């Protein structure tokens, strides 16, 4: 029998089972909706974690930062600690970095510029080629060389002079352009409301690595205590931390030391599936959906046995009869999954199109990857597995029952 005719028979059976079919659709919808809710949260979190991890050129567990925690004289207290860190043998390199802006490079537009000490060149994932490194080292006529993001290639010219420092004008020059996707770490706490996107992908900003960071250090004016980054091997980390804390204690300064690798690991643990309170409820609903569909499939398989026997006597193959159950179950799961996905799409983005979403670009990509890319793949896998699981028992019953027995048992 052709697939089209089998579909007609399945639709005819559905018309005789409207109530049960509607009930199963509701159960399946809830299951897929909960899977979408938990799965989207998990996938978008993991995407954000991966992006933030990839912003580092160093292994995250090698990177730490320290900041003086005091109410007054924060800048001077921080300076005492940072000057000491520079003397430690087991610190491979260290330095400050912060954010700035150029307002005279493109008319009417502010261009974000990361300003960092030259010693931190390997901290970010800048994708520097030998040519770009040479450009960064070749300051012309006293100007500081800046590499702009790839999106500025057709908007500015190499050699354009502009201002980044608040202490002097026309101090920087466009030396070249970074490769697409070049990035730099977020300063301070990595995981909060402003750090789960591409805030420090440098396609729409730039990077200045300078030997003279004092020209760009605004914290000495505001008496701020900026995070000071340093890189050390994991086996030396505890010793370096102890040395910093002891020195800070000797100078009556309270310091906070954070390891980036530990921060990322804590975020991975806190965003795991099993740490979500809804995970067990979701698993329970999936199990309920499978059990319900299996039970209904078995019941209707027994009730329809005479019809199956008649079909078999009339020349229909058993595998074609079994496929009708598979088609019915797959159809219910598919309709439920698509409906749940569309409802969640509107909840996440405010409309069916993410382009109309009011979400900040920092978060939109994470949700697009989580909900629009990963969830459909997950749903397809679930539909295949659940449809096969709920069709196994009916398939066994039909395959082991002879046509005469099917008809006779219903007499």
What pLDDT is attached to residue 197? 44
What pLDDT is attached to residue 325? 86
What pLDDT is attached to residue 274? 66
- Is 145 a residue whose pLDDT tops 60? yes
Instruction: Find the helix or strand (DSSP H, E) in which 403 lies.
Output: helix 403-409
- Is 124 a residue whose pLDDT tops 90? yes
Q: How confident is the model at residue 21 (pLDDT cuts 50, 70, 90)?
A: confident
Q: Is 373 exposed, middle or buried (0-12, 13-18, 19+ CB in 10 A)?
A: exposed
Question: What's the distance, CA 320 to chain centroid?
Answer: 43
What pLDDT is attached to residue 308? 78
381 or 20: whose pLDDT is higher?
Answer: 381
Q: What is the mean pLDDT of residues 48-76?
A: 88
CB 285 within 8 A of CB 31: yes
Q: What is the mean pLDDT of residues 106-111?
A: 92
- Is 406 a residue whose pLDDT tops 80? no
Average pLDDT, the chain: 86
Task: Give the tens place of pLDDT for each residue, 328-348.
Answer: 899 999 999 999 999 999 998
Q: How far is CA 242 from CA 89, 221, 246, 248, in A?
A: 14, 30, 6, 10
pTM of the model as a whole: 0.78
244 or 353: whose pLDDT is higher?
Answer: 244
What pLDDT is attached to residue 225? 64
- Is 199 a residue whose pLDDT tops 60? no
Find the distance separating the first CA and the last CA of the chain, reported in whole Å. Answer: 26
- Is 1 a residue whose pLDDT tops 70? no
What pLDDT is attached to residue 195? 45
Helix, strand or coil, per DSSP, at residue 123: coil
195 or 117: whose pLDDT is higher?
Answer: 117
The rounded distance, in Å, linking the Cα atoms of 179 and 148 is: 9
CB 78 within 8 A of CB 226: yes
Tell which residue, 201, 207, 251, 236, has the closest CA to residue 68: 251
In the Cβ-directed half-sphere of 359, how many Cα atoms lie within 13 Å? 23
Per the DSSP assignment, residues forming a β-bridge with 231 are 63, 93
**In terms of DSSP H, where are the helices of 92-164?**
130-137
- Is 9 a residue whose pLDDT tops 80? no
- Is 166 a residue whose pLDDT tops 80? yes
DSSP notation for 275-335: GSTTHHHHHHHHHHHHHHHHHHHHHHHHHTHHHHHHHHHTT--HHHHHHHHHHHHHHHHHH
Instruction: Find the helix or strand (DSSP H, E) in which 395 lies.
Output: helix 375-400
Task: Give the tens place of pLDDT for each residue, 218-227.
Answer: 887 776 668 9
pLDDT over 70 for what percent of the chain? 91
What pLDDT is attached to residue 242? 96
What's the count of helices (H) and strands (E) in the chain, helices before strands? 13, 10
DSSP notation for 226-277: --EEEE--HHHHHHHHHHHHHHHHHTT--EEEEEHHHHHHHHHHHTSGGGST
Q: Is 359 exposed, middle or buried (0-12, 13-18, 19+ CB in 10 A)?
A: middle
What pLDDT is attached to residue 411? 44
Task: Give the tens place of pLDDT for each residue, 263-273.
Answer: 999 988 888 77
356 or 255: whose pLDDT is higher?
Answer: 255
Helix, strand or coil, per DSSP, at residue 224: coil
Helix, strand or coil, per DSSP, at residue 141: coil
Among 24-28, 50-54, 202-206, whose mean pLDDT is lowest? 50-54
What pLDDT is attached to residue 223? 62
Question: What's the distance, CA 375 to chain centroid?
Answer: 13
Q: What is the mean pLDDT of residues 165-185?
A: 92
The rounded distance, in Å, linking the Cα atoms of 182 and 203 is: 7
CB 62 within 8 A of CB 232: yes
- Is 233 a residue whose pLDDT tops 90? yes
- Is 257 a residue whose pLDDT tops 80? yes
- Is 196 a residue whose pLDDT tops 70? no
Per the DSSP assignment, residues forming a β-bridge with 66 are 228, 257
Q: Which one-letter DSSP state was computed for residue 182?
A: -
Q: What is the mean pLDDT of residues 171-184?
A: 93
């Amino acid at each position: 029998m052709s697939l089209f005719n089998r579909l007609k028979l399945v639709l005819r059976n559905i018309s005789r089972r409207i109530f049960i079919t509607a009930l199963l659709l509701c159960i399946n919808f809830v299951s897929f909706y909960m899977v979408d809710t938990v799965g989207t949260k998990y996938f978008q979190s993991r995407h954000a974690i991966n992006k933030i991890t990839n912003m580092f050129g160093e292994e995250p567990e090698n990177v730490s930062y320290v900041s003086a925690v005091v109410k007054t004289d924060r800048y001077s207290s921080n300076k005492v600690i940072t000057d000491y860190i520079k003397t430690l043998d087991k610190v491979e390199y260290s330095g400050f970095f912060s954010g700035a802006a150029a307002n005279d490079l493109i008319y009417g537009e502010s261009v974000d510029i990361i300003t960092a000490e030259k010693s931190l060149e390997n901290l970010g994932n800048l994708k520097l080629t030998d040519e770009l490194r040479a450009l960064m080292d070749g300051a012309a006529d006293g100007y500081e060389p800046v590499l702009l993001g790839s999106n500025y290639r057709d908007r500015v010219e190499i050699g354009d002079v502009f201002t980044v420092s608040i202490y002097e004008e026309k101090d920087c020059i466009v030396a070249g352009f970074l490769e697409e996707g070049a990035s730099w770490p977020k300063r301070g706490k990595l995981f909060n409301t402003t750090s789960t996107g591409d805030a420090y992908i440098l396609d729409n900003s730039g990077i200045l690595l300078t030997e003279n960071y004092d020209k760009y250090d605004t914290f000495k004016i505001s008496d701020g205590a900026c995070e000071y980054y340093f890189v050390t091997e994991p086996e030396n980390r505890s010793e370096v931390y102890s040395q910093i804390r002891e020195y800070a204690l000797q100078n009556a300064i309270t310091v906070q030391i954070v390891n980036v690798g530990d921060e990322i690991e804590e975020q991975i643990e806190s965003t795991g599936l099993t740490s979500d309170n809804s995970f067990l409820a979701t698993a329970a609903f999936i199990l309920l959906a499978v059990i319900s569909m299996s039970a209904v499939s078995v019941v209707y398989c027994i009730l329809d046995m005479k019809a199956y026997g008649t079909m078999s006597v009339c020349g229909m193959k058993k595998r074609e009869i079994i496929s009708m159950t598979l088609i019915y179950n797959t159809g219910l799961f598919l309709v439920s999954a698509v409906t749940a996905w569309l409802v969640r799409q509107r909840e996440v983005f405010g409309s069916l199109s993410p382009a109309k979403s009011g979400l900040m670009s920092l978060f939109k990509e994470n949700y697009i990857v989580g909900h629009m890319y990963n969830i459909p793949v997950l749903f397809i896998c679930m539909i295949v597995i659940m449809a096969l699981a709920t069709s196994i028992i009916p398939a066994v019953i039909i395959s082991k029952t002879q046509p005469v027995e099917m008809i006779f048992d219903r007499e």
